[in-house]
Amino acid sequence: MPTFNLYRKMLTVLVLMLIPIIALYVYSNKTSTDVLRAELQNSSRDQLNFFQQQIDTVIHSISQWPNLLIYDPDISNLKDIHHPVGDHLDLETIELIKRIQKKLSIQENSVNWASQLTIYSPSLQRIITSSKVNHLDETYLPSLSAKGWQMTSFSVSEQEREHQFSLVTVSPFSSSRNPEKSNLVLEVQFSSGNIKQMLDAFRGDGQRNPFYYVKEGEIIYHSAANKELVAQLLENLQLQDLEKSSYEIVTLAGESYLVNMERSTTTGWILVDYLPLSEMMLPITKSNTLFYASVAALLLMAAVVVYLLYVQVQVPIKQLIMSFQRVKKEDYSVRLQPKGNTEFTFLFKRFNSMVTQIQELFQRSYLEQIHIREAKLKQLQSQINPHFFYNCFSFISSMAKLQNYSAVIAMSQNLSHYYRYTTRQEKELVTLQEELTFVQHYLDISVMRMKRLTYHIELPDELLLEMIPPLSIQPLVENAVLHGIERSSTASTIAIVVAREGHRVTVTVEDDGKGMDEAHIVALMKRLNYPMQEDMGCGLWNVHQRMTLRYGNNAGITIQPSRLGGLSVTISWHATDKQDTDNEGEPIDGGHLAG
């Protein structure tokens, strides 16, 4: 396509002119970005390390309190004071406890953290804090662990957990594994709220997002932490293997984060801080946006230069290609709208003329197919079994010889109605009322020939005017009489039931004859969908073919064992929207009919 190639070459030249400029800018931008990212990373790591040292200093200072206080003279005196006989302490002991409480208070206020020092005196049986004195339950002592910092967690709300950290020192140190045997136990406690406040202060203007990873499932967040994002980050980090400090670039949902990690040498906790790279690189991003906007403007101006060429040549060619594709998919309603007075106007008019001629040819061909299909329907409809008429005339002859004139009259009347219906071919569809009236005449004739035969017809009132091709039910009834009733000396009943299920109408013909086994039923169903063979009767095949031709592949005959003991044959089709009210012949009442 020469025009398209020319258009593409012009745009290619314009783009090639911009490529050196863009390449130089990208290289310069990458160098600047790498330098800035390295500086930001070092700065972030230094600040994280300084903050970690602050935390470690405070915790280390707090951890020294029990070791210092346990040698305090007043506190050491508690080892030698025993529980009084009564619950009341003497004045000297009370004054000693007050001095101890004052020292505890001074020690607790030496740092900015909210902490609590607790003294357990087994000999005095008292628990002493800076604000109160309580009785000591000796059974509580074994629960105190002197194995370094211990952490307990509890839920403050459904979405927030609080952590309590404690450090226990016992005297003498030999009883650290059995605090209940010690002379004195000192415990210092502080909550994660202190660390949370420091995290909030470290976070500052909100660009940082620090948190402490204590252990699996135990994390100390700052006040505005995005816990869901933190959980996703932790899934991409290997914190258990971290020795001192490290950093990683983690990408989540298209957003990249610079993650710095610092392990505490005092507690072993890991301080993690993450920064969105998009915020860090915002100045460079703005510069990139300005540059690429300028490039886009240049490309836009270049596109305007070739726009007229595109409109005058490329667009008409595209329309022609798309229209040919639609014609290829047998959409002959496509038409092109000529504009202006160019060479493409002539092409569009010739294309429209060509498609119109093709459409007319296909319409004529389609009408011919319809006529062929209608002729096939009428040919199938005209097939009837002449053997039935021979038997009827033989019955009339026999009854006349026996001078049973009433039987001759009844047979003649039913036969006249029967023959009148079968020879009336001007209507393509009849109502179920007409068809079943005709079937009733046939059964009345059969009853005259075979006295043990009885029949039962159910036709609901709302289906009286439902349409069906003529001579569709009679072949099923005839098969039931010939193959179900006559071949069994004990068979005598035929039931015809019309029903509607949703949009489908079914007519079921059942008998109490000997029926068929499952294999023969399956074989017969298969043969109904193939061309008629010489060794099979035309009745069922005729009806099945006419129903599928008329209503489609979802209509036709199904065969199964009957609840009466013989065979059940069902015709089904999609219900019509309109009912033909032209009812010729004798009407049949809705409901139940028996003969």
Out of 67-76, 374-383, 402-411, pick the least confident.
374-383
CATH number at residue 535: 3.30.565.10
What is the 8-class DSSP label of residue 348? H
What's the pLDDT score for residue 196?
Answer: 86
Which residue type sits at 571? I
Percentage with pLDDT > 90 across the chain: 9
Q: Which of 429, 492, 496, 489 is nearest to 460 (CA)?
A: 496
**Do residues 403 and 518 both lie within one domain?**
yes
Q: At what angle do helices 405-422 and 432-449 cross, to 10 degrees?
A: 150
What are the structure tokens assigned to 321, written together?
């290609």
- Asked whether residue 469 falls in the same domain as residue 535, the answer is yes
Average pLDDT over residues 496-512: 93
Same structural domain, 466 and 353: no
Cis peptide before 338 (omega within 30 of 0): no
DSSP string, 198-250: HHHHHHTTTT--EEEEEETTEEE--TT--HHHHHHHHHT--GGG--SEEEEEE
The confidence band for 371, taking pLDDT boundaries of 50, 70 and 90, is: low
Q: Could you tell me if residue 39 is inside a domain?
A: no
pLDDT beyond 80 at 480: yes
Same domain, 512 and 573: yes
Determine the Cα–Cα distance for residues 489 and 387; give it in Å rounded to an integer.
Answer: 22
pLDDT at 533: 63
Q: Domain check: are 226 and 351 in the same one?
A: no
* pLDDT for the residue numbered 3: 46
| Residue that is written with structure tokens 């008998």 in the block | 511
Domain count, the chain: 4
The radius of gyration of the chain from alpha carbons, rounded to an integer in Å, stands at: 51
569 and 435 in a single domain? The answer is yes
The count of C-alpha atoms lying within 13 angstroms of the C-alpha of 47, restricted to the half-sphere facing its C-beta, is: 19
Any bridge partners for residue 271, and if so which? 212, 262
Helix (H, G, I), strand (E, B) or coil at 39: helix
Tell me the residue range of the domain where 322 lies.
306-379
- Residue 70: Cβ within 10 Å count: 20
Q: Cα dist. 292→288, 297, 381, 390 in Å?
A: 6, 8, 77, 97
- Condensed to tens digits (0 to 9), the pLDDT of residues 521-573 reads 888 888 887 776 655 556 788 788 888 888 888 899 999 999 988 999 999 99
What is the model's pLDDT at position 2? 45
The answer to whether residues 449 and 580 belong to one domain is: yes
Residue 51 has pLDDT above 70, yes or no: yes
Residues 426 and 530 in one domain: yes
Q: Is the pLDDT of residue 99 over 70?
A: yes
Burial bucket for residue 431 (CB in 10 Å: 0-12, 13-18, 19+): buried
Average pLDDT over residues 186-214: 83
Domain assignment present for 11: no
- Which CATH number belongs to the domain containing residue 246 in this structure? 3.30.450.20
For the chain, the average pLDDT equals 80
What is the pLDDT confidence band of residue 515, given thresholds at 50, 70 and 90? confident
The answer on 522 and 415 residing in a single domain is: yes
Helix %, strand %, coil % of the chain (to 5): 50, 20, 30
From 283, 314, 337, the end of a domain falls on 283
Q: Are residues 213 and 178 in the same domain?
A: no
Residue 319 and residue 407 in one domain: no
């280390």: which residue's tokens? 60
- My answer on whether 333 and 318 are in the same domain is yes
Average pLDDT over residues 97-110: 88
